[in-house]
Amino acid sequence: MSGVWVFKKGVVSLVDDPSSLPSSDSKIVDSKVLVHTCSDEVITSHEIFKSKLSSLGWEKYYGDSELIQFHKKDFVDSISLPKNFNEFKTSNMYDVIIRNCNEFEVRDM
């Protein structure tokens, strides 16, 4: 699943090509941050993110050179993130939330 999640009028939709969004919508997409709800800390780096995931039982998987991946023992799902944190997108944020209910949320900046 690639693309960007967009919230508009209470509806979530996945947009494959964010450059096709009107400028007002693309500003909405660019102004989201991932927040660890227990500590109210904004995730601003892979180091911060790794420490939060580790406390939830996730382990870093060493395999793919293009991605940073995390997995849980005896758990089928994994979390894959771009190696460059500046490429961390809203779709990555929602991928994290789906696998860690009530631990993270996406907020407007």
Predicted confidence (pLDDT) per residue in 52-79, tens digit: 999 999 999 887 678 899 999 888 889 9
34 pLDDT more than 70 = yes
Average pLDDT of the residues in 79-96? 90
**H-only helix segments in the chain:** 23-30, 46-55, 90-99
Domain that holds residue 69: 4-108
User: Count of domains in the chain?
Assistant: 1
| Pairwise pLDDT comparison (73 vs 109), residue with the higher score | 73
pTM exceeds 0.95, yes or no: no
Q: How many Å apart are CA 20 and CA 67, to the nearest integer?
A: 26
Return all residues near 98 (Cβ < 8 A) that are at least 6 apart: none
What percent of the chain shows pLDDT beyond 70? 75
Token representation of residue 53: 């995931």
